[in-house]
Structure 1
Amino acid sequence: MTFVATNPLDQFEVRSIIGLDISVFNNLYLSITNIGLYLTISLILSFMFTLLTDNNEKLLMNKWSLNQESITITVKNLVINQISATKGQIYFPFIYTLFMFILINNLIGMVPYNFASTAHFVLTFSLSFTIVLGATLLGFHKHGLKFFSLFVPAGCPLGLLPLLVLIEFIVLRLGNLIILW
């Protein structure tokens, strides 16, 4: 399969690499695309990075272990500063995994003539949508109807509350989607 880029935007096209026509569930078409291939490569690279950081219980760290330690401390400080030192620790594994996923995929995309999977709207929108939806559901679960108080400025008249809650919810959630995208 030869690919000649005639347009600078050709690198963002999702192409089927291996396709299978299967007549299951109304002629379901399964294929391995370039985005799936590069996500698999990023998964393999993250496992390799984890294996390289294994220090085999030595007293002195190797370079990879030191790098991993500094990334972990940076993300942990981010969680502590943004959420809380006591209640935020439960979200650390998720935020760390998300950070490493985006980091590795962005570093792969920086290599010339490689595919940038995080540059695609489908991947970034699905990540941001699920995170915003999860954060909203978690907020309702933890705070109940008090969750709406986050969208109301202090000293607001009671008659404006429904309108302000609606506006703040839409603006905040759309703003989060745009920021994550």
Structure 2
Amino acid sequence: MYTYRLLMDNFIKSPLDQFEVRDLLSLDAPIIGNLSLSLTNIGMYLTIAGYLIFFISLLCTNQNKILPNASSISQESLYSTVHSVVIGQINEKKGQVYFPFIYTLFIFILINNLIGMIPYSFASTSHFILTFYLSFTVVLGSTILGFSKHGLKFFSLFVP
């Protein structure tokens, strides 16, 4: 009975508990300079999302069949939609370079949002630190690419 209660304490009991970050597993090592490693629910759900993306992409492959199945058609249409948006916003040639990153980011956010819509599950994309980290890396990467390609003329792109 005690172990059951211990396991039930880690689960979400109300709809607002999905926004609380909790330690699921922690390892404290004071010998190695107060090293503290912990697996939180946000880390667990992000890992689940990563594995889910991997397994969905494996299941949706057509495996060289002539007639595609429904899941293969849905993944190809999603791929085509994101590809047309990237090509529409960036050049035909230059968009191909950045497409894998944008597609991966889109699928990652999509899967995390879909997981967050399941009742009593953890909504990882509702946390400010995750959305800030994702957007900060994109803005920083875009700025570095802009400076490397255009130099100081990069600032003139923002002037109307």
After TM superposition, list the pairs within 5 Å mapping 1:125-144 onto structure 2. 125-144=132-151
Deviations 1:110-169 (A, max 9, x none): 11110011111110001111110110011000100110101222xxxxxxxxxxxxxxxx
Q: Percent identity?
A: 63
Match of 1:94 in 2: 101
- Aligned counterparts of 1:40 and 1:19: Cα–Cα separation in 2: 16
- Aligned counterparts of 1:25 and 1:149: Cα–Cα separation in 2: 50
Q: How much does 1:11 deviate?
A: 1.5
Match of 1:118 in 2: 125
Give TM-score, length-normalised by structure 2.
0.90
- Aligned counterparts of 2:146 and 2:22: Cα–Cα separation in 1: 39
- Cα-Cα RMSD: 1.4
The residue type paired with residue 94 of structure 1 is: F
Q: 1:33 aligns with which of 21, 24, 40?
A: 40
The residue type paired with residue 128 of structure 2 is: F
Query: Which structure is richer in relative contact order (CA contacts within 8 A, separation 6 or more)?
Result: 2
Give TM-score, length-normalised by structure 1.
0.80
The residue type paired with residue 106 of structure 1 is: N
- 1:121–1:64 Cα change, 3 Å: same
Q: Which runs of 5+ in 2 are unaligned?
A: 1-6
Residue 148 of structure 2 aligns to a residue whose secondary structure is helix
Q: Is the 8 A contact 2:13 2:120 kept in 1?
A: no
After TM superposition, list the pairs within 5 Å mapping 1:1-181 onto structure 2. 1-3=7-9, 5=13, 8-23=15-30, 25-153=32-160
**Where does structure 1 differ by over 6 angstroms across 4 or more consecutive aligned residues?**
none
Q: How much does 1:2 deviate?
A: 2.2
Would you say how many aligned residue pairs link Structure 1 and Structure 2? 152
Residue 73 of structure 2 aligns to a residue whose secondary structure is helix
Residue 83 of structure 2 aligns to a residue whose secondary structure is helix
